[in-house]
Structures are given as structure tokens and as C-alpha cells.
Amino acid sequence: MNPVKLLESMDLEQLLQAAEDDIIEDMLYDAMRKMEQETPSDKNYFLPMKLMDEYHNSQEYRQLSENVKEYKEHMLKTGQLYLGKKEKLEQAALEQLDSRTYGKGGPCHRGPLYPGNMEIICASGRRKGRLFRQSKSPDYIYGLDKDGKLLFCKNKADRTIEYIITEKNKELGIAYGQNGKITAISELYYDAGGQLSDYKYAGFWYGKRNLKISLCCEIYHYQDREVYIDLIHAEGKYPSCEHFRFLQDDEGFVIKGECCNVMHKLIMDVEIPRGMKLRGYPPLK
């Protein structure tokens, strides 16, 4: 089925059910439970399934599952709202376009202008990428308005273009791929001081008759020089959440990080990239 028709034709409950069904994930967990039962405890090097099952039955996990379902439903509604709007968004961006800049490397979402923090800390080899005024072979091409605000981001590797809509403290990104299909949606909120308070990113993966959603969320809370971040991942049936705490010095540099493993109930130190500041609005000019 055509990806656009797929997103357009199914109601929200059908889309959510299709996104959460994961037979392979269920089979894997069942196999791990069986392996755990057949393996002596002193030779079991995997996460005990007993701990995972206890966590999945906890109130914290039930609340997490409800939140994730709400986030996915919101992203699906947004996707349906912006179906067929690529040309309109492109025209609006070109009318405001003042300059272009270029980027290489960095996290997949917008490269050097990645709006979050946790992928740099946890998953991207701590490479922020670099911006250039001119480049013959950039990974990303950015369009900016006269105030330096981001209008669009063209990802040359994925052959997608994301249009950014900014309204007061909210930033909405709609990424389109070939055939006009929506490949990703991002949503960011900033507080009055320009600090990031909420970052959600949903990637859409189209099968022949279903749609999968990969969701990543960063939820921020600030207390003096401490920053608390809940990092949520939901790629299949079972979402996960890790709790982070970061300490900043007087100039805003992160000097210490900790992570709480919710299943093991352990506090672990987090290695911080050298010279890192948590991002608010990234300066472009």
C-alpha cells in the first residue's frame, strides 16, 4: 500500500495497534525466560527476566506506557494533519529564506544542529558535527531566516527534507521523504529562558500493510545548577525510561552526570563529553 494512503486510511486505534504489535520482540522475551530457567544463576549474564517482568508490572511502567501511547497518538494526529502539505511548507520556507549554511557529521536528526542532548551523550560517539558557511559535499543543508531561525534541514544521506515551524516557545519539524511520505516528526518546547524543556522525535517506518513508530523523548526539569532528564525510548511493544541527573558549573558546562537504572535500581556515573553544555536555542549567527 502507498505510504501516504496507509497513514491516511487507518484510524488512530488501528495505527497505534499496528505500531505496538511486535511478534519478534515477544518471541525474544519468551526465549530469554526459557533460557533463564534452564541456566544456573551464576552463569546467567543477561538481565534477569524476573526483574524485567516486575518492572513491567509496576505503577511506574504503567504510567510510562500510558504516556508513550499518548505521545504516539499525538504524533500520528500531527502526521495525518500534514499529509500533502509539503509544497505549502516549502513555499512558506522559501518566502522567509535569507541564507543557507551547511553541516557535516553529528547525530542523524539535523546533524550539528541536533536540538537534543542525549544522543550526543549516549549514542553518537560524542560527535557534535560541524557547521560551515560553504561546503562542496555537506551532509546537511540548512535554510535560515533573517533572524537566524531554522526553516528547513535537508538530509542528503536519507534524501529527506524537514520543514521547521516555530511558534513562540514551540518548534515543530515535519520531515518528508520520496513520494511525499512523512518520515519523521519532531516537537520541541523551550522555557522562558530558552532552555529545552521537552524534545520528542518520532520516526515512521512503512511496511506493506502497517506502520511502525520509533519514539524518543527527552523530558527536562531544572533545579539551580542541576538538570534532570527522563530519556524515553519506544521502538516496539515495550517502552523504556532512564533517569539522568547532570550538574553544571557557573558557566553552564556539564561537570558531572549520573544515570538511574530503573530495573536494577542502581546509580551509575555517566561520562560527559569534554566542554559540553546542554542545548537551548543553538546560535546560528
Which contiguous run of DSSP H or E holds residue 195? none
| pLDDT (mean) for 64-71 | 94
Identify the pLDDT of residue 13: 56
pLDDT at 268 over 50: yes
- CA pair distance 211, 190, nearest whole angstrom: 30
DSSP string, 75-92: HHHHHHHTTT-HHHHHHH
Q: Is 281 part of any domain?
A: no
Q: What is the average pLDDT score of the chain? A: 84
**Has residue 42 been placed in a domain?**
no
The grid coordinates listed for 204 are: 515512521
**Which residue has better confidence, 250 or 187?**
187
Q: How confident is the model at residue 278 (pLDDT cuts 50, 70, 90)?
A: confident
Q: Is residue 136 part of a domain?
A: yes
Asked whether residue 278 is domain-assigned, the answer is no
Give the pTM.
0.83
Q: What is the pLDDT of residues 176-207, one digit of tens each?
A: 998 889 999 999 999 888 889 999 999 998 87
Please report, rounded to a whole number, the percentage of residues in the chain having pLDDT higher than 90: 53
Residue 3 confidence (pLDDT) above 90: no
- What is the average per-residue pLDDT within 152-170? 94
Number of independent structural domains in the chain: 1
Among 111-115, 164-168, 206-210, the minimum mean pLDDT is found in: 206-210
11-20, 107-116, 146-155, 202-211: lowest mean pLDDT where?
11-20
Residue 276 lies in a domain: no
- 285 found inside a domain: no
284 lies in some domain? no
Contacts of 175 (CB under 8 A, 6+ apart): 155, 160, 161, 162, 163, 182, 183, 184, 185, 186
CA distance 285 to 184: 27
Residue 18 pLDDT more than 90?
A: no
What is the domain extent for residue 257? 3-37+47-269
Asked if the structure places residue 84 within a domain, the reply is yes
Strand, coil or helix: what is 284?
coil
Residue 284: what pLDDT?
39
Q: Are 222 and 29 in contact (CB under 8 A)?
A: no
Q: What is the pLDDT averaged over residues 65-82? A: 94
| Phi/psi of residue 72, nearest 5 degrees | -65, -40
The residue type found at 125 is: G
Average pLDDT (57-73) is 93
